Amino acid sequence: MSARGPLGLLARVVAAELRQHLRDPLTLVFMVVVPLFLYPVLGMLGNRLVQTALAEADAEVLAVAVEPAIELPDNLRGVPADDLAEAVRSGKVLAAARVTAAGDGADVWWDSRSPDSLDARGRLGDALKEHRKATQIRRVDAEDTMTEADRLREMAARILPALLLFTLLSGGLYTALDIITGEKERGTLETLLSTAVDRRVVMGGKFVVVLCFTGSTAFFSILSSWASAKWAMGLELPMGTALIALGLFLPMAVLLSAILCVAAAWAQDFKSGQVLTTPLLVMPLAMAAVSLLPGFALTPASAMVPIAGLALATREVLAGRGEPLTVGLAFVATCGWAALTLAAGARMMGREDVVMGTRGSGQRRLRGDYRLDAVGVWAVAFLLMWFLGQTAQSVEVRGGMVFTQLGLLAPLAVIAPWWLGLPIRETLRWRAAPPLEWFRALIVGLCMPAVGLGAHWVQSLLLTTPSTFFAGVFPEDAPLWQLVVCFAVLPGLCEELLFRGAFFGLWRTRASPWMACVVTAIAFGMFHLSIFRFLSTGVLGLVLGVISLRSRSVMPGMLAHTLNNAFFMVAMAYGWDVQPSWLMVLPIALAVAALVVPGTTVRSAEPGL
Partner 1 sequence: MIVVDRLVKTFADAEGKPVHAVDQVSFSAGVGEIVGLLGPNGAGKTTTMRMLATLVAPDGGQAKVAGHDVREAAAEVRRSIGYLSANTGLFGRLTPREVLVYIAELQGCNDAVARAEALLDRFDIRKFAHVACDRLSTGMKQKVNIARAVVHDPPVLIFDEPTSGLDVLVAQDLFTFLEDMRERGRCILYSTHIMGEAERLCDRLVVIHGGRVLATGTLAELRAITGRERLEDVFMFLVRGAAA
**Chain residues in the site for partner 1 (CB under 8 A):** 183, 186-188, 190-198, 352, 356, 358, 360-366, 421
Task: Give whichever of 419 and 576 is closer to partner 1, judged by the CB atom.
Answer: 419
Task: Give whichever of 92 and 510 is closer to partner 1, judged by the CB atom.
Answer: 510
Closest separation in Å from C-beta 57 to partner 1: 54
Closest separation in Å from C-beta 342 to partner 1: 23
Closest separation in Å from C-beta 609 to partner 1: 13
Task: Give whichever of 111 and 178 is closer to partner 1, judged by the CB atom.
Answer: 178
Question: How far apart, in whole angstroms, are the C-alpha atoms of residue 193 and residue 277?
Answer: 24
HEC string of 50-78? Answer: HHHHHHHHHHCCEEEEEECCCCCCCCEEE
* Beta strand pairing call for 105-110 and 95-99: antiparallel
Q: Please, which residues bridge with residue 62 across strands?
A: 76
- Residue 105 φ then ψ, to 5°: -160, 175
Task: Give whichever of 195 and 394 is closer to partner 1, judged by the CB atom.
Answer: 195
Task: Give whichever of 89 and 364 is closer to partner 1, judged by the CB atom.
Answer: 364
Closest-CA residue to 180 (of 278, 283, 272, 285): 272
Closest separation in Å from C-beta 39 to partner 1: 31
Question: How far apart, in whole angstroms, are the C-alpha atoms of residue 254 and residue 211?
Answer: 6
Closest separation in Å from C-beta 366 to partner 1: 4
Closest separation in Å from C-beta 357 to partner 1: 10
Closest separation in Å from C-beta 382 to partner 1: 25
Task: Give whichever of 190 and 396 is closer to partner 1, judged by the CB atom.
Answer: 190
Task: Give whichever of 190 and 476 is closer to partner 1, judged by the CB atom.
Answer: 190
Q: Which amino acid is at 404?
A: T
Closest separation in Å from C-beta 186 to partner 1: 4
Contacts of 231 (CB under 8 A, 6+ apart): none
Q: Which amino acid is at 563?
A: L
Closest separation in Å from C-beta 418 to partner 1: 14
Question: How far apart, in whole angstroms, are the C-alpha atoms of residue 599 and residue 11?
Answer: 67
Question: How far apart, in whole angstroms, are the C-alpha atoms of residue 261 and residue 342?
Answer: 9
Task: Give whichever of 195 and 468 is closer to partner 1, judged by the CB atom.
Answer: 195
- Residue 21 φ then ψ, to 5°: -85, -30
Question: How far apart, in whole angstroms, are the C-alpha atoms of residue 301 and residue 146?
Answer: 29
Contacts of 181 (CB under 8 A, 6+ apart): 264, 265, 267, 268, 269, 270, 272, 273
Task: Give whichever of 158 and 184 is closer to partner 1, judged by the CB atom.
Answer: 184
Closest separation in Å from C-beta 365 to partner 1: 3
Task: Give whichever of 185 and 323 is closer to partner 1, judged by the CB atom.
Answer: 185
R_g of the chain, CA atoms, integer Å: 29
Question: How far apart, in whole angstroms, are the C-alpha atoms of residue 393 and residue 385?
Answer: 10
H/E element holding 95?
Answer: strand 95-99
Task: Give whichever of 422 and 489 is closer to partner 1, judged by the CB atom.
Answer: 422
Closest separation in Å from C-beta 422 to partner 1: 11
Greatest Cα pair distance, the chain, in angstroms, is 97
- Residue 516 φ then ψ, to 5°: -60, -40
Question: How far apart, in whole angstroms, are the C-alpha atoms of residue 9 and residue 16?
Answer: 10
Cα 296 to chain center, whole Å?
A: 15
